[in-house]
Structure 1
Amino acid sequence: MSDTRVASRYAKSLLDLAQEKGMLEQVRQDMLLLDKTVQQNRDYQLMLKNPIIKHDKKLAILKAIFGGKVTDMTSLFLEIITRKNREAVLESMPAEFEKQYNLKNNIQTATITTAVPLDARLRDEFSELVARKTGKTIQLAEKVDPALIGGFVLTIGDTQIDDSIKSSLQRLRNKFNDQTYISKL
């Protein structure tokens, strides 16, 4: 079974348990901390996947890193995963937890890419627009790509709306090249 599927199952179990115990938001914050640690520390990623490092040593490292920073529920969950020799899933489990949390709470993630950072007014307008279109609460992620020149690229799930100047220029260039090619015939 792939690590992603295993991570998804562990994340679902943790989410259900946290919800049952009324600790969903605290555990979500723990998962965000775990995800941040994974994303910012390559040595941590390698340690989780390294079969040479013994599981008790990995557990000691996890306790040293997260001890006192996460809830007792998350700490015990990390211990269970380590005892079952599944530390490698800790890399993808926070993202799987977040996906299932968003699904359970009807939250849609959208990514907006612009040439310059958005101000608060535009951020709110995009959030409201996407919320009206999807009927869901929106979690807007922002990216800046100066190569767009202007405009935006909005990605919601599998849908992408590209209203950037870069793409408009590319479409115009393609149209011009097509017409030039046709006129040569």
Structure 2
Amino acid sequence: MAELTTLARPYAKAVFDAAKDQDAIDLWDQALAFAAQVAANEQVKVILAKPGLAEQRKAQLLADCFEEQLPEALSNFLSILAENNRLALLPAISELFSLYRADLERTVKMQVSTAFEMTAEQQQKLIDALSRKLERKVELESSVDQSLIGGVVIRTGDLVIDASVRGKLAKMANAVGS
């Protein structure tokens, strides 16, 4: 996975900079997300991996999946990826593009797991506290995980904050076992 991200980074950065210059970040984000979804499809992966099929034909097949005529810039981008045999990187490029966008807009998406359903008021208090702490707009996605027993686990990217009863019991067990 890290290798795909490394290969995708220069493409994602270049297309993000171009989208920013064109003031079309939202358009590019949506288009890349759709192209990534298509490229991640198992049947499409098989087509993209076919050595006998010309790379430009693969790019055209991806472009044909869009309902509307592609903007010339996106069509050119798919052609560049095809020329460099990088169409399979579209999911990683889209993910990186979204991260660059979130960084520019100073937003962060966080997944919160709790032992019990949070009320809207509790979610808002958590959003407000995290927004102040991180100095970013927080978008919260919550889920219930009864195995936590109590407390909360917050995840975003590489950051994990485990304030659950299960996590505290695991730390105690490790300390006793040492």
Same-fold call, TM > 0.5? yes
Match of 1:154 in 2: 154
8 Å Cα contact 2:39/2:88 also seen in 1: no
Q: 1:85-124 residue pairs with structure 2 within 5 A?
A: 85-116=85-116, 118-124=118-124
User: How is 1:45-56 mapped onto 2 (pairs within 5 angstroms)?
Assistant: 45-56=45-56
How far apart in 2 are the matches of 1:55 and 1:156? Answer: 36
Checking the alignment, whether the CA contact within 8 Å between 1:3 and 1:88 is kept in structure 2 is no
Change (3 A) 1:171 1:20: closer
Structure of larger gyration radius: 1
| Aligned residue pair count | 175
Residue 170 of structure 1 and its aligned partner are, at CA, apart by: 3.8
Q: Show the counterpart of 1:31.
A: 32
Displacement of 1:69: 7.4
| CA deviation map 1:61-92 (0-9, x unaligned) | 20221251764432332132223322122131
Quick check: 2:36–2:91 contact (8 Å CA) kept in 1? yes
The aligned counterpart of 1:15 is 16
Q: CA deviation at 1:59?
A: 1.9
Identity in percent: 24
Change (3 A) 1:168 1:132: same
CA distance in 2, matches of 1:69, 1:115: 47
Displacement of 1:134: 0.9
Report the Cα distance in structure 2 between the residues aligned to 1:37 and 1:126, rounded to whole angstroms: 35
Displacement after TM superposition at 1:169 (Å): 4.1
Please give the alpha-carbon distance, in whole angstroms, between the structure 2 residues aligned to 1:116 and 1:33: 34
CA contact (8 A) 1:147 1:166 kept: yes
Residue pair 2:37, 2:91 contacting (<8 A) in 1 also: no
- Corresponding position: 1:127 with 2:121: no
Query: Shift of residue 135 of structure 1?
Result: 0.8
2:114–2:153 contact (8 Å) kept in structure 1? yes
Question: Are the equivalent residues in 2 in contact too, given 1:116–1:146 (CA < 8 A)?
Answer: yes
Unpaired segments of 5 or more residues in structure 1?
none
TM-score normalized with structure 2 length = 0.78
Q: Which runs of 5+ in 2 are unaligned?
A: none
Give distance in 2, aligned partners of 1:26 and 1:120.
Answer: 31
In structure 1, C-alpha distance between the alignment counterparts of 2:116 and 2:34, rounded to whole Å: 28
Root-mean-square deviation (CA, aligned residues, Å) is: 2.9
Q: Distance in 2 between matches of 1:168 and 1:98?
A: 33
Given that residues 12 and 97 in structure 1 are in contact (C-alpha distance below 8 angstroms), is that contact kept between their aligned partners in structure 2? yes
